[in-house]
Every structure is written in structure tokens, then in C-alpha cells.
Structure 1
Amino acid sequence: MLNIDEPAHLQPKMALFRLGFRPFFLFASVFSVFALIVWGGFLSGINVLPNTLNPLWWHGHEMIFGFTCAVVAGFLLTAVQNWTGRPGVKGLALLGLFCVWLLPRILLFAPFGIPFTLIMVLDLLFLPLTATLLAISVIQVRQWRNFVFIPILSLLTLLNAASYYGLLTQKFEWINNGLYGAILVISIIVALLGGRVIPFFTERATQWQRESSLPWLEWLSFASLLALTMSLFLQHELSIRVIAGLASLVLLLRWNRWGWRASWGVPLLWSLHLSYLCIPIGLALIAVGLPLSVGMHAITVGGLGGMILAMMSRVSLGHTGRQLKPPRPVVLGFALILIATLLRVFAGILTQWSSEFLLGAISGWILAFGCFCYCYGPMLCQPRADGRPG
């Protein structure tokens, strides 16, 4: 891991804003717990959402663009420091970006009539601002390999705008296309980063020897996910199922080359491997003709949620100067996310028990990310244990 040495007086006094992973990992996790408590209450007949807000849109939008994109931003703003060797965004700039993310989450609940258009504009600014900060670092050192995240974040912004357009015009297919499309684009980010870090971490922590990547398999995995994103807007069911099946097979073949058999004794490894596996499983569920929401929730809860929990756990330990050994409650959280994934899939298949399965899945998520907040909150709010910057 590359560490950037800076004089102590250049470090922000508040440790929470010394590097991007700190505020976004912590507050995105807190927000996800809050959002699912609200959603679980709504499903149980207790609605605290404003009457003017579409509950289905709010749940999908906030879990994708509120929670997941915040974690993606925190990870990328931290990783770009290692990639480029330049100090990451910190201090007032990081605080400003954090406020741009936080304000729309709060204002949607504000009792004093904030124009929805203003909230929308603020929300749509977050990813372009993140992309701009990334681009500045990448361009300065001409590291074009990592410039790929700039158009990906731009595409996510367009999909966010599509979901808002669908909400404002009552064209619900646009809401679904925007949200489902965003899930697949974030899956591209996970596939891209997973291909870099999962085999690397597995090789370092076990006796497994990494194989050279196959360029055609790498490109086909990203191309198939992008094609599936485009096919959603065409609304052609056969194309969606065929491309989902292809993407599932390609991602599964790619994952099979990453040493998963050697990972079972290391929680920070098996959590990554099993979470990643949920993405091709979710795609396979779509390919066999199950409702689109079933496969998408396998991807979001297990693939994205599980991968986020595992990566946040590892990155937070490494970047706060601690040993790579997660607290026991968080290891339990890794298992709870996988259980929540199964329950959420069953909720879409065994519809006669959907309420029970849904509330079980929500409870699993709340407990898992609650464990993360409890165990990692103090680490993220305190200076590094080894005294280094960041």
C-alpha cells in the first residue's frame, strides 16, 4: 500500500476528512441502516416518508445513488492516491463534496417545502464533481488506464437523471431503466476493481499463485454488462435474457481464475469471493426468466452490498494503519449479508411468504452494516494508528 507523506500541519485537524474513505464509508453505511429501517417500516405499514415522495422510487434511488455511489466515491477518491502517488482530496474540498452528497438525503425529508428541482440538481452534481476530482489527479500524471472511471461516473449521472425524469413525468419504465441500468454500471466498476484486487489479495494471503489475466475475457465481461445495460432500454425480453446469460457465464469464468478455493480460511477473502459470485448468480436468475427484480436484488444485496462491506472493512483497516483482521462482529456481518441475499431472492420467488422474507433480508442488512458502523466508526473518526497521514 502506498502512503503519501505530508507535514503534520497540512493534515486536516478533523481526522474524518483526511481521506475520502473516512466520511463516505461511515455515513453511507449509517444512511443505509436508516434507509432500510424506513423501508422496513413502510412495508410493515408505518410510513414516515413525505406524502409527495414515491416510496418505491425513494428506496431504489437512495440505496443505489445515495448509499452505493457514496461508497464508490469514497473508494475511488482513496484509491486514486495510491494509483497516482499524489495526495488525495481532503479537508475543505472533501467536506464540500460530502455536503453535496448529504444535503439531498436530508432535504428529501425536510418539512419546509424545499423545491424538488433543487434537490435533484444537488444530487446530480455529486458524481460529476467526484469524476472531476478523479480526472485532475489522473490527468496530471497521464495515468490513462484509470481514466476509465470518469466516463463510468458520467454514465451513472445520466442514469440518475433518467430515474428523475421517470419520476417527474410518471414514466415508470424510465425509473426502472435508470435504476436497473445503474446497478449494471456499478457492477462494471465492481468487476473492474474486483479483477484487480481479489486475485491480488488472495495471492498475498494464501499459497495460491495468480494466473495471468486473459484480455479477451476481461473485455467480454465489461462489454456484456454494458450491452445488458443498453438492452434494458430496448425492453426486449429475449435479448435481456440472452445477454444476461452470456454475462453470467463470462463473469463466472473470470471469477473461477481468482483462487477462490484458497480463500475459505480468511474472512476478508471469502467475503470478497462469495459477494462477487452473487453478480453472475443474479444475472443467471435473469437469464432463466425469473422476474427482473429477483436477479437485480441478488446483485444489489449480495454482489454490491456484500462487496462493499468486505472492501470497506479491508480498506478501512489498511488506511488507518491497522492489521488486516476484521472485528468478529463484522465477520458475522459478512455472513448476514449473504443470508439477506438468499432471503431477498426467496421473497421474489416464494411470493406467499414475501413479507417475511423481505423483513428478514432487511434485518440482515441492518445488523451487518450496523456492526460495521459500531466497529469501524471510531477508527474512521480517529487519526491513523501508526501516525501516518491519511
Structure 2
Amino acid sequence: MPFRPFFLLAALDALPAVGLWVPVLLGWDVSGVIPDVPGWHARALLFGTVPVMMAGFLRTALPRWTGRPLAGARVWPLLVPLWLAGRALSPWIAVAHAPFLALLAVLAAVQVVAARDRRNAVVAVLAGALAGTALCNAVPAALAVLLGLVMVLGGRIAPSLTATHLGLPGKAMLFAGRPLFERAAALAAACALAGWLTAPASGATITASLLAALMQTARLLQWRGWRTLDRPSVFAVHAAYACVPLGFAALAVSPGAAVHLWTVGALGLMGFAVMSSMIRKHAGNAFARSAAVTACYALTGLAVALRAGAEMVGEGRAVWLLAAVCAWTGAVVLFLAIFGRILAGAPPGKEKKPIG
């Protein structure tokens, strides 16, 4: 299970990255520990928590996608101490994680170039762009890049998992691929994100965002997510991807809600869904039913709704935020309770009992 150290770090880091909001919401002064909690919180998630989870996913998926053994296998373990060093330098958290992100981008590029795999070149390019945003301490740009990765990777994971669950030989049996539509949807999303970064309140940006929302919704619907309602582990991936078009649509009403639909939903829920799916697949229980795992997804979904809703309420916002933090923390604790032992290095038991 080559993703073990990365997923474990991601889950452990997800607790303080969000949990430090609790003392702030309770009115405690934590400026002596972290002067700018909101700024640190955003940078911790976008440059630390999500990328280390992404590293574990790519470390495992790239050899299968490219059809070649892992390139730079001896270098990949260096990512763990690099990430830990970046996290230790918390006052400069974005720039401190740039070496980790740069090495991850290089390793992905080497794998893609060695395989002459143009299809996955976009993954390496986006990983490199994320390293650039860390070096420039550009938080909104980092979110835009990570959304690009969600749209690329989610567009492979969601239909593939759905086809496997339905017993189809491949995702081609689930829907007909339309390359022109895929390029148009990607272009619309890129234009909307570029507008959000440069002129978020302009009419052109709002129009582009609504178009992107429509096209990403159409893209999601062709994967037939409603056919996976009986498999929460697959449906959670579709639900997480749904936060991408919801975020684009929300830009016209509440930019703050849009940001948290993307961060907590498209990144957070997708992260839990992908990590749990990959762990269970390698343990031989890919689609096993588990009330605990389903509860983890449900708590994350609740955190999405509460955090986005907090941006649209007047009085009582702090209560909504505190509830969102509690829901998120509950999801992380459940995830660690279910998978922590395996991620820490314990081999899966020989018994047939499903994980979780």
C-alpha cells in the first residue's frame, strides 16, 4: 500500500488545519501561537493537507495509468520528510511546502515523459502549477489549480468506479465519450476560474461561471451517479464532484459559499472518498458495506452544507462555523478510527470482515 504514509499524514493534518478554528470561535486569543488563523488555515489545507493526499494517490495510480513501473521509486520516499519540514515551518507555510510540491511535480513529469503519455501530461503540468502558487503564496490561484486537478482526476475516477460497481467492462459502456464536449467544458471552467481570480464581480465572470456550472453539471450527469445510491463509497465521489458546478453557480450569489463548496466539498469530500476507496481496494474490500465509512461521508457532507451556509446567514454565523468544524472533526476521527491502523503500517487481517 504505497499510499500509506501520505494518506496518514493527510488525515492527521486535517484535524489541526480545521480544528484550530474552535478556540477562535470560542473567543480565545491564539495570536501567540498563530497570528493569522484564517490565513494559516487556508494555506495549511491547500498547500499541505490536500497535496500530501494527492501525492499518495498519484504514487499509486500513475504506474497503472501510464502502464510502466514507477519512475524514481527511490526518490518518492523523500516526499515525506520534505512535507514534514514544510509543516514544521508553519509561519511560512506556503513557501515552505514549495520544495515538496516541486519534487512531486517533477516525479509526475518523469513518469509521464518516460511513458510518452500525453493524456496524463496535464496532471504533471497542474502539479507544477501548484508548486508555483506555493512559491508565490497565491492562495486563490492554488484553489483554482486544485479544482483543475479535481475535474481531471474526478472525470476518470467517478465513471470508472461507477462502471466497476455496475459490473460493466469499462466506462465506455457507461457513456459515450465526447472529446469536443470535454474540451469545451474544460475551457469554460478555465475561463470562469480566470475571471474569478482577476475580476470576480464582473458580469463576464458571472456569465462564464454559470456556463461552467451548466457544462460541469452535464458532465457529471453523463456518469449516471444516481445508479450508485446503494454504494455510498461510489456515490460520495459523485457528490463531491457535484460541488464543482455548485461552486460555479454560487459565485453569482455568494463567493464565500462558492469557495467553501469547492474546498470542503470538491476537495475535502473527494479526498475522503478517494482515500477510503483506494485503501479498501488494496485491502480486498473495495465495495464492502460499512456504516462507519458511510457516516464519515455523511459528516463531511454535513460540514460542506454548514460551512457554505455560514456564508449566507446573518446572525448566528459563529454557531454554523462551529457546527461545521465539529462535523469535519467527527469525519476525520472516524476515518482515522477505521483506517488509521492500516495506514500506520499494520497489515490487513486475514479475516473476511470488511474494513470499517
Q: Which residue of 2 aligns with 1:5?
A: none
Q: Equivalences for 1:1-390 in 2 at 5 Å?
A: 19=2, 21-48=3-30, 50=32, 53-88=35-70, 93-108=75-90, 116=92, 121-162=95-136, 164=137, 178-206=138-166, 209-237=173-201, 238-287=203-252, 289-290=253-254, 292-325=255-288, 327-380=290-343, 381-383=345-347
RMSD: 2.2
Q: 1:307 to 1:242 in 2, by over 3 A?
A: same
CA contact (8 A) 2:11 2:336 kept: yes
Distance, in Å, in 2 between the alignment partners of 1:358 and 1:88 is: 42
Q: 1:91 to 1:326 in 2, by over 3 A?
A: farther
Percent identical across equivalent pairs? Answer: 28
Distance, in Å, in 2 between the alignment partners of 1:296 and 1:203 is: 31
Instruction: Name structure 1 gaps, 5 residues minimum.
Output: 1-17, 110-115, 165-177
SS in 2 for 1:129: helix
CA contact (8 A) 2:71 2:110 kept: no
CA contact (8 A) 2:299 2:331 kept: yes
Post-superposition offset of 1:304 = 1.3
Distance, in Å, in 1 between the alignment partners of 2:349 and 2:68 is: 22
Distance, in Å, in 1 between the alignment partners of 2:303 and 2:338 is: 20
Distance, in Å, in 2 between the alignment partners of 1:92 and 1:199 is: 32
CA contact (8 A) 1:344 1:361 kept: yes
CA contact (8 A) 1:77 1:89 kept: no
Q: Deviations over 1:245-295 (max 9, x none)?
A: 1111110000010011211101111111111111111111113x32x1211
Distance, in Å, in 2 between the alignment partners of 1:89 and 1:361 is: 40
Q: Bigger CA drift: 43-52 or 78-87?
A: 43-52
Compute the TM-score of the two structures, normalised by the length of structure 2.
0.89
Letter in 2 for 1:310: A
Letter in 1 for 2:150: V
Q: Which residue of 1 aligns with 2:353?
A: none
CA contact (8 A) 2:34 2:40 kept: no
CA contact (8 A) 1:185 1:229 kept: no
Q: 1:270 to 1:236 in 2, by over 3 A?
A: closer
SS in 2 for 1:127: helix
Distance, in Å, in 2 between the alignment partners of 1:276 and 1:233 is: 21
Q: Bigger CA drift: 345-354 or 94-103?
A: 94-103
Distance, in Å, in 2 between the alignment partners of 1:269 and 1:308 is: 13
SS in 1 for 2:119: helix
Post-superposition offset of 1:179 = 2.0
- Aligned residue pairs, count: 344
CA contact (8 A) 2:226 2:235 kept: no
